[in-house]
Structure 1
Amino acid sequence: MTNTTALPTMLRLTDPGLREQLQALPDSAALIGISTDGRAIAVDIDTAPHILVCSGTGGGSTTILRTLTAQFLYQGAHALVLDPTRIAHLWAKDLPTVTHRGNVAGIHDALVGLGAELKRRIDLEGGLDDVPRLMVVIDRADDTLRHLTRHWETLRQKDDPKRSPAIAALQAVLYEGRAARIHVIYAGTATVGGRLIPGAHEQFSTVILARVSASIWRRLAPIAGPAPKSSPLPGLVHVVQDGDAHPAQAVLITGAEAADWLTATAAGEN
């Protein structure tokens, strides 16, 4: 494995030249971080439509979600941010192109609506060139799916399907979203108890791992070799793409930085 001592110790939006590097990316791409050889590690959702982020305690999955989402918003995307803690993504709450939902009932309704939006986009005549990308950002997603399952049990009537329609809509987006310019950034393992169908995690062509256990590494990066030794370095991740795991220092953007950057962009100040 490549020696990680060559990694920068921190990458921030305020670093010289970094903002310009982010701004130069095509609207389908976001910078994840810089690898040990100085190469930019990015994700292009035209070819890898969904992103899985999985971290152990202190691994920074919420920060990675924020950093990726902010970049796609800068590029003109809209976002549905599902924030079960209600406070992890307040940076996005007042942005005009973001829908922020926190409580389980609101998340349920938002995902059911997402299923309708998926169908509307697929059925739209004349193509999607003028339709903004929609990023569906789900923090603490595995716990959220459990809560959605229990919530549906309190709502379900006799003739309703047993499976939560919110989870069914998310599943549909994972399989069909690319054709509708809808993309998922999912913080979790995507393998919890069949709430997503078996193999759903295979829909994530880019997997970002930080401080995960050996068992989770084997599950989410089975052909990338043995799990690397955990590091206390903030922002150190392994990006799994095309079967290879690339150690990288992730770009870290704070909530205040993201909100200020995007607000200034909307005001024409960038």
Structure 2
Amino acid sequence: MTMLPDLLRLTAPVRETLDTLPASKALIGVGTDGQPVAIDLDDAAHVRVTTIGGGGSSTILRTLTAQFLHHGAHALVLDMKRISQPWARGLPTVTYRADVADIHDALTGLATELRRRIDVIDRHGSDVGLLRLVVVFENGDATLRRLARHWETVRRPGDPQESPAITALIEVLFAGRMARMNVLFDGDPSINALGPEGREQFGTVILGRVPTSTWRRFAPAARPAPQHRGHLNRGRVHVVQGSTAHQTQVLTLTDPEALGRATGAC
């Protein structure tokens, strides 16, 4: 077992590792065996990041998003706080939405795009070369609650009871892998509108500074559950993939580094 570093930054060796990864993969960090810990969106389409306050979820989403943008993906950033991913604002490959009405419209638009992509695949085959679209969902739980309340205020007689924006997100979680639409979600889906079916679609779960009870709820198949000691090390998480949990020191990209990686400048 290798001692994890206190901080993992974009050094030359790390950059070399990033450059070897295919477009479907992104580096999360390094494990206790000294090997890279990565996600592959072609294998496990969606990622959930769950931390306590100040646990670094926005940093993780920033680092992952920049890597996918580097490989030509586009991103839809949903950031009700407006300050979580400022580096991505203004990029031609990024759509940034912060107002709840705009987030509602963006998500319902995803449902239309999902159907379009599935139609293209049905007509031309799965190797048609669709552009990857990464949906970066910041502060997910509060945003979903706001979306539900927004729908209550604008819903007209005859409209569905459930928010079509939330329904669209669930549809993307179920069918997004085939359509190359992937969700990076910051939050605790056990208490939001996604329900157990939506929660099960996250093939990679990143847990940072969470108590054992949260571990058991989100990753019951992974053993053993770590004893909660606060994980005070900056960037120290557990990456759960299937029944395996990797203690990991995450790669930390600053805003300028993320921008540089996304645009190919570094």
TM-score higher than 0.5 = yes
Query: How many matched pairs?
Result: 261
User: Partner residue of 2:138?
Assistant: 139
> Is the 2:221–2:242 contact (alpha carbons within 8 Å) kept by the matching residues of 1?
no
TM-score calculated relative to the size of structure 2: 0.94
User: Partner residue of 1:49?
Assistant: 45
Q: Which runs of 5+ in 2 are unaligned?
A: none
Cα distance in 1 for partners of 2:197, 2:227 equals: 24
Aligned partner letter, 2:256: A
Aligned partner letter, 2:112: A
Cα distance in 2 for partners of 1:166, 1:133 equals: 20
- SS of the equivalent of 1:6 reads coil
> Is the 2:62–2:253 contact (alpha carbons within 8 Å) kept by the matching residues of 1?
yes
Cα distance in 1 for partners of 2:261, 2:76 equals: 19
Q: 2:205 aligns with which of 181, 204, 207?
A: 207
> Is the 1:171–1:197 contact (alpha carbons within 8 Å) kept by the matching residues of 2?
no
1:238 and 2:234 are equivalent in the alignment: no
Cα distance in 2 for partners of 1:165, 1:10 equals: 41
| Per-residue deviation, 1:227 | 3.3
- SS of the equivalent of 1:163 reads coil
> Is the 1:148–1:164 contact (alpha carbons within 8 Å) kept by the matching residues of 2?
yes
> Is the 2:87–2:259 contact (alpha carbons within 8 Å) kept by the matching residues of 1?
yes
Provide the aligned C-alpha RMSD in A. Answer: 1.4
- SS of the equivalent of 2:95 reads strand
> Is the 2:204–2:239 contact (alpha carbons within 8 Å) kept by the matching residues of 1?
yes
1:216 and 2:208 are equivalent in the alignment: no
- SS of the equivalent of 2:195 reads coil
Cα distance in 1 for partners of 2:225, 2:86 equals: 37
| Per-residue deviation, 1:260 | 2.6
User: Partner residue of 1:158?
Assistant: 157
Q: List per-residue Cα deviations over 1:133-175 (Å, max 9, x = no partner).
A: 0001101101110000000001100100010000000000000
Change (3 A) 1:231 1:147: same
| Per-residue deviation, 1:59 | 1.0
1:105 and 2:104 are equivalent in the alignment: no
| Per-residue deviation, 1:130 | 2.9
Aligned partner letter, 1:179: M
Counterparts of residues 69-218 of structure 1 (less than 5 Å)? 69-124=65-120, 125-127=123-125, 129-193=128-192, 195-218=193-216
Identity of aligned residues (%): 52
> Is the 2:68–2:262 contact (alpha carbons within 8 Å) kept by the matching residues of 1?
no
TM-score calculated relative to the size of structure 1: 0.93
Q: List per-residue Cα deviations over 1:29-85 (Å, max 9, x = no partner).
A: 001110011011111111100001000122100000000111111111111010110
- SS of the equivalent of 2:250 reads strand
Aligned partner letter, 1:6: M
- SS of the equivalent of 1:79 reads strand
Cα distance in 2 for partners of 1:126, 1:186 equals: 30
User: Partner residue of 2:252?
Assistant: 252
> Is the 2:189–2:195 contact (alpha carbons within 8 Å) kept by the matching residues of 1?
no
Aligned partner letter, 1:10: L
- SS of the equivalent of 1:81 reads strand
- SS of the equivalent of 1:209 reads strand
> Is the 2:130–2:179 contact (alpha carbons within 8 Å) kept by the matching residues of 1?
no
